[in-house]
Amino acid sequence: MAKDDLGLARVRVRAAWLFLAPTLAVLAAVAGWPLLRTVWFSFTDAELIELENYRFIGFANYLEYYEGEWLGLLADPQWWRAVWRTVWFAAVSVSIEAVLGMVVALALNARFPLRGLVRAAILIPWAIPTIVSARMWAWMLNDQFGVINHALLAIGAIDAPVAWMADPDLAMWAVVIVDVWKTTPFVALLILAALQMLPADCYEAARVDGIHPIRVFFRVTLPLIRPALVVALVFRALDALRVFDLIYVLTANASGTQSMSVYARQQLVDFQDVGYGSAASTLLFLVIALLTLSVVLLGRLRLEGESAR
């Protein structure tokens, strides 16, 4: 009997591997191999113009002491500014998206005429490719011809046209605004899905018990949709940390608004320095991996803390 069980388990495990094999092979080809290759290049002095000729130079791309000076990525203030800027961007835009997404989801969860139409309409910004929406916003924010300056001038909010993309601080906020405009629907959609799973009778019980709607939101709704909210925000945070197209289209290579990805691309493509750019890409990967791990671990600790209570 026990032997049969083992035999069955072995057959099942083998079947599972069989089904997984195609996916694993594709993943290895399109994700594993490029990743490993990038890590490998980060230890070399490869250049884009002749990719076959390179030497292994160890950690020199990351950090190197040369003629009384620290060199390499880890000693590059511009890299660290890009890291800090990207983290700031991720934190600010994801926070705003969480709050706005919640508001939109709660509104869409209510019953009103034409709800289906509004639900579809709100998804449009998310459906537009980033390149297109970034280009669109770039024109809207244009200092001479942009509709936003025009509108602000018309209502008298500003006296002279604002050069949105000239000032790095202003430009970063413009990037945040466009990102919020684009991805709030995604967050709202995930929250809406969670809201629709909530037990309706609990809300009726709360109504009968006379509990204030705001209190119901914080004590009942929020705890119940937290798992979905965390998933949405982790997704969004990972996306935001990798941000590239939006910033590149809006502000090109301007050093004042460079994110980690834009920095890596500049090294790789513009400066042809595959080794150094690969090092930046590898660090970008490590930073995101570390942040994700800490979020997941923190979340688990909190969950365990709650169930132990």
The footprint of another protein (CB under 8 A) covers: 199, 201-202, 204-212, 215, 219-220, 223-224
Nearer to another protein, 14 or 215 (CB): 215
Closest approach of Cβ 111 to another protein, in Å? Answer: 13
Q: Alpha-carbon distance 290 to 252, whole Å?
A: 28
Nearer to another protein, 106 or 211 (CB): 211
Nearer to another protein, 7 or 223 (CB): 223
Closest approach of Cβ 203 to another protein, in Å? Answer: 9
What is the C-alpha radius of gyration for the chain, rounded to an integer number of angstroms? 25
- Which segments of 133-257 are extended strands (E)? none
Angle between helices 222-241 and 274-308 (to 10 degrees): 170
Q: Alpha-carbon distance 179 to 228, whole Å?
A: 21
Closest approach of Cβ 208 to another protein, in Å? Answer: 5
At 62, list the tokens: 């990351």
Between vectors from CA 147 to CA 141 and to CA 151, what angle results, nearest 5°? 115
Q: Alpha-carbon distance 92 to 177, whole Å?
A: 10
Closest approach of Cβ 216 to another protein, in Å? Answer: 10
Nearer to another protein, 114 or 208 (CB): 208
At 150, list the tokens: 């025009």
Closest approach of Cβ 298 to another protein, in Å? Answer: 19
Whether 243 contacts 261, CB under 8 Å: yes
Closest approach of Cβ 193 to another protein, in Å? Answer: 18
Closest approach of Cβ 58 to another protein, in Å? Answer: 53
Nearer to another protein, 220 or 287 (CB): 220
Nearer to another protein, 74 or 220 (CB): 220
Residue 244 region, left (φ>0) first, then alpha (ψ -120 to 50), else beta?
alpha
**Type of residue at 276:** Y
Q: Alpha-carbon distance 220 to 36, whole Å?
A: 46
Nearer to another protein, 35 or 220 (CB): 220
